Amino acid sequence: MSSDIRARFRVERQRFTLDIDLALPGAGVTALFGPSGSGKTTCLRAIAGLERAAGGYLAIGENVWQDATRGHFLPTHRRPIGYVFQEASLFSHLSVRANMEFGQKRAAPAVPRFSLPEIAEMLAISGLLDRHPEQLSGGERQRVAIARALLGAPQILLMDEPLAALDLKRKLEILPYLERLRGELSLPIIYVSHAPDEVARLADHLVLLDAGKVVASGSLNSVLARIDLPAVFADDAGVVIATRIAAHEAHQLTRLEFPGGAIFVSRHQQPPGTPIRCRIHARDVSLALHPPQHSSILNSVAAQVVDLAPTATPGHLLIKLDVAGTPLLARITQRSAENLGIRPGLALHAQIKAVALLA
């Protein structure tokens, strides 16, 4: 299936070159992830037209915004984009309502747009419309900045580390609203981050960048489950699995089901049937050749070894597992792997010591 976004850029600087060729989905959240200096923001600026890449090409659906072979370059002010920066950059002399109305002025008259009340309700800022930016918390200011960007009726929303300037409390405050945007908006979102937890919680598609090059690109879990990229994630190596609340059980536990089985977590407040994303770190998965007995670890699933690879830590291995079609990673010592006879095709049991709920 052809992708809705094609981006090919080469941006040369004195000590850095961004050289990428990407095919991205035209809906959902695509995360650009990588260390500082990997080219994430430069890529976002090239999409926005703020960096004029030599030989560049950019198409959003059927709309070609840049094609160097034809000498075509749509300037930034004519690109229907929404851009959210690390800092909210609101106009301090304007009210929240006036800041949002400023965003509306960018929308083309014939383009269907969100109404101000709709966006205010979606981002829970209806009660803030008469305030000024200095009267808002950091999380509130960033929600207003997102609202202003959306009211411009963009074809694509670009977000450059929008949570980086917030403390943990404000990050946790704003993440549910970003999840709601992902679920309710039909436009693609390109989200820059170097925080693995944000990527795991929000992304549908993941692009790994390093030194201006694309290291990997694909659906979130297909990239997270790759064991040839251990240095990218280091101790954060792990997968995200899509589960659904099956039932609330005794001892303050909730049972989550997925195609590979079921896992138990601390009691969750949502009703049965609610979809839940879970992150499972490789460091929290241990392996056994037989079904564990007399263990304090509640979660055990049947699995098969797919492959194994060394990690950046000497004497440790990353094991890729298949749990009835769901990938899982385990990090164990080389000694343990030899004792268990770990090899591709081996059937065993994976014990999951901890599960992080992402929704």
- Please list the pLDDT of the chain residue by residue as tens digits (359 residues): 345 999 999 998 888 999 999 999 999 999 999 988 999 999 999 999 999 888 899 999 999 999 999 999 999 999 999 999 988 889 999 999 999 999 888 777 666 667 899 999 999 999 999 999 999 999 999 999 999 999 998 999 999 999 988 888 889 889 999 998 888 888 899 999 988 889 999 999 999 999 999 999 999 999 999 998 866 677 788 999 999 999 999 999 999 999 989 999 998 888 999 999 999 999 999 999 998 888 888 899 999 999 999 998 899 999 999 999 999 999 999 999 999 999 999 999 999 998 888 76
Give residues with Cβ within 8 angstroms of 227, minimum separation 6. 307, 308, 309, 318, 319, 320, 329
Looking at domain 238-357, which of 3.40.390.10, 2.170.190.11, 1.10.3470.10, 2.40.50.100 is its CATH number? 2.40.50.100
Give the burial class of 6: count Cβ atoms within 10 A of its Cβ; 0-12 exposed, 13-18 middle, 19 or more buried: middle
CATH 3.40.50.300 range(s) for the chain read 5-230
CATH 2.40.50.100 range(s) for the chain read 238-357
CA separation for the pair 319, 298 (Å, rounded) = 21
Q: Any idea of the CA torsion for 344, 349, 353, 359, to the nearest 10 degrees?
A: 80
- pTM exceeds 0.85: yes
Q: Tell me, which fold does domain 5-230 have in CATH?
A: Rossmann fold (3.40.50)
